[in-house]
């Protein structure tokens, strides 16, 4: 391990200890999340999603940052995607419960299970939410994220380059994405094997922790993808 690794670990420990031992810190976090959910989602994903990519780079190439990495553009993209993810989680939680209660004639049981304490019924609803969200939403989200990653790399990793050049979606989709990996591994393997169970756990947590846990999952996936590479 290098000095920068010890420094990174120290920063993580300090942040965790801050929330654990500073009076009112955790209450402030929960209150702010409840009152400003989308704004907090932006910052959670901007920080944790980007940190996941930096950790992945450290595993692959031995450094947390390199020329062209695009720290600020990546934080911006992750923040915006965090808002989208938080919105999707709300939409799919609400819609899945209504689908189960109405379409499958559970007559309010799904809503009761999902709002109640931990039970097999709540786990079933959480799994259904996870499967629907990751099947219908995740592939589009992942593909758009891949497009922005390629755009950041091709424009030098700067905000000026990011905003000063058009996002070539058609060209990137047809020529620059390796679909053997994007579909064969990212879609076909990480979605059922990682995201289905991981987001089932997410939807069993208290609402104020769900987006935060989802952001931490991005860090975990960054490690998994680095190992794969």
Q: Are 58 and 1 in contact (CB under 8 A)?
A: no
* pTM for the predicted model, two decimal places: 0.90
Q: How many other CB atoms sit within 10 Å of the CB of residue 196?
A: 17
- 143-147, 173-177, 207-211: range with lowest mean pLDDT: 207-211
Q: What is the CA radius of gyration of the chain?
A: 19
Q: Are 64 and 57 in contact (CB under 8 A)?
A: yes
Give the chain's length: 229
pLDDT per position as a tens digit, 102-148:
888 788 899 999 999 999 999 999 999 999 999 999 999 999 999 99
Between these two residues, 2 and 167, which has the higher pLDDT value? 167
Burial of 139 (0-12, 13-18, 19+ CB in 10 A): middle
| Whole-number pLDDT of residue 108 | 86
Run of H or E including 29: helix 25-35
Run of H or E including 58: helix 37-61
Average of per-residue pLDDT across 24-47: 90
- Give me the half-sphere count of Cα atoms (radius 13 Å) on the Cβ side of residue 225: 20
């Amino acid at each position: 391990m290098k000095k920068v690794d010890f420094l990174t670990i120290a920063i993580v420990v300090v942040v965790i200890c801050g929330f654990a031992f500073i009076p009112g810190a955790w209450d402030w976090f929960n209150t702010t999340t409840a009152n400003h959910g989308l704004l907090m989602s932006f910052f959670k994903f901007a920080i944790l999603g980007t940190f996941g990519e930096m950790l992945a780079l450290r595993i692959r190439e031995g450094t947390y940052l390199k020329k062209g990495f695009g720290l600020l553009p990546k934080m911006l993209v992750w923040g915006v995607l965090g808002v989208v993810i938080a919105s999707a989680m709300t939409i799919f939680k609400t819609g899945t419960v209504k689908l189960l209660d109405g379409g499958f004639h559970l007559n309010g049981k799904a809503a009761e299970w999902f709002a109640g304490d931990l039970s097999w019924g709540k786990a079933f609803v959480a799994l259904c939410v996870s499967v629907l969200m990751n099947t219908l939403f995740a592939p589009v989200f992942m593909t758009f994220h891949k497009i922005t990653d390629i755009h950041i790399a091709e424009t030098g990793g700067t905000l000026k380059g990011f905003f000063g050049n058009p996002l070539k979606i058609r060209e990137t989709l047809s020529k620059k994405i390796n679909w053997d990996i994007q579909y064969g591994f990212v879609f076909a393997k990480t979605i059922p094997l990682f995201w289905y169970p991981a987001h089932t756990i997410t939807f069993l947590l208290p609402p104020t922790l769900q987006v935060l846990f989802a952001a931490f999952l991005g860090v975990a996936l960054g490690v998994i993808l680095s190992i794969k590479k």
